[in-house]
Amino acid sequence: MINQQHIKFDDEREHKLYEIWPGKNRFYLGGRIMIGPSTDFGPNFFTWGGLILLPIFFTISNGQQIWEANRLLFICTLLLAFLTLFFLFLTQFTDPGIIPRKNIFEIMNIQWETESAWPMCETCQIKKPPGSSHCKQCDNCILMFDHHCPFVNNCIGKRNYKYFALFLASLLMQGLSILISLNKINPEESNGLTDFLLIIVCFISAVIGVFCFFHLIVILSGSTTRQIIKHLEPTNSFDWIGRSQQLFNPTMIIATQQQAFDF
Ligand SMILES: [Zn+2]
Ligand SMILES: [Zn+2]
């Protein structure tokens, strides 16, 4: 089904591509920052809140004892906490590899090179390269679509998979580092917050450990999460180190006078 959306500008000012974007991604700072749909707010807030509170609880609960027992371990744990938040930021706030819709390519005056065997996306009216898929939550086609993650409020695709994998790896290492640190505490010096932290971090490390193992299989098999779940042939071209060119520029000026668009 084609989502028809009629847009007409009433003023004479310059309009940028992100202002008429037909998908559910949200743009901020004049189109310089892009995130996923607003429906992910709950899980995304939970992720940011939890990952900011984790090192704070760690420092408040037994920071003093751990600092005295092993300063390097304490510094490494906080460094890993910072890295986790940094990779979460990069995963969430970068373009995952959106393929713009046909009308946007036309506005940009760009020819989308395709092959006849590629399947058609009925919403975007473009042919999808192998491994690509239309994300229902974001309402955009994504290059090497892995999955949509509401916890990071973005799709995981060709352009941000590397950041997502590093986010999972640093979160697992942070969890293990906290567990090793808590193990160094004299049981008489532990408190209620120590026990709470121990249970929470054991749970997080187990869950993230499973995800890390799964994504190791994804990387080594050259496929995507979607291909593994749907038993599809792997594309064997998963470029998880490289970072392809962004296919659109949200800050590009598309109208300077009264103009109408149909999407
Ligand atoms: Zn599509
Ligand atoms: Zn998505």
CA of 250 to the centre of ligand 1 (A): 18
Q: Does residue 180 lie in a domain region?
A: yes
Q: Does residue 193 lie in a domain region?
A: yes
Long-range contact set of residues 175-183: C-beta below 8 Å, sequence gap at least 24: 175/201, 175/204, 175/205, 175/208, 176/205, 177/73, 177/76, 177/77, 177/80, 178/54, 178/58, 178/77, 179/205, 180/73, 181/58, 181/62, 181/66, 181/70, 181/73, 181/74, 181/77, 182/62, 182/66
| Number of domains the chain contains | 1
- Specify the residue for token string 């751990």: 66
Cα→Cα distances 164→90, 92, 149, 161, 215, Å: 8, 9, 10, 5, 10
Q: Does residue 3 lie in a domain region?
A: no
Nearest ligand to residue 99 Cα: 1
Q: Tell me if residue 149 is catalytic.
A: yes
State the pLDDT at residue 255: 66
CA of 241 to the centre of ligand 2 (A): 21
**130 contacts 118 by C-beta, under 8 angstroms:** yes
Structural domain that includes position 15: 8-262
**76, 149, 155, 202: which is the annotated catalytic residue?**
149
Nearest ligand to residue 141 Cα: 1
- Widest distance between CA atoms in the chain: 73
Identity (one letter) of the amino acid at 112?
Answer: W
Instruction: Give per-residue pLDDT as tens, 232-254.
Output: 988 866 566 666 778 888 888 87
Q: Does residue 1 lie in a domain region?
A: no
What is the H or E stretch that residue 133 is in?
A: strand 133-135
Instruction: Give per-residue pLDDT as tens, 51-110.
Output: 999 999 999 988 888 999 899 999 999 999 999 999 999 999 999 999 999 988 888 888
State the pLDDT at residue 1: 39
CA of 99 to the centre of ligand 1 (A): 8
Instruction: Give per-residue pLDDT as tens, 131-158.
Output: 999 999 999 999 999 999 999 999 999 9
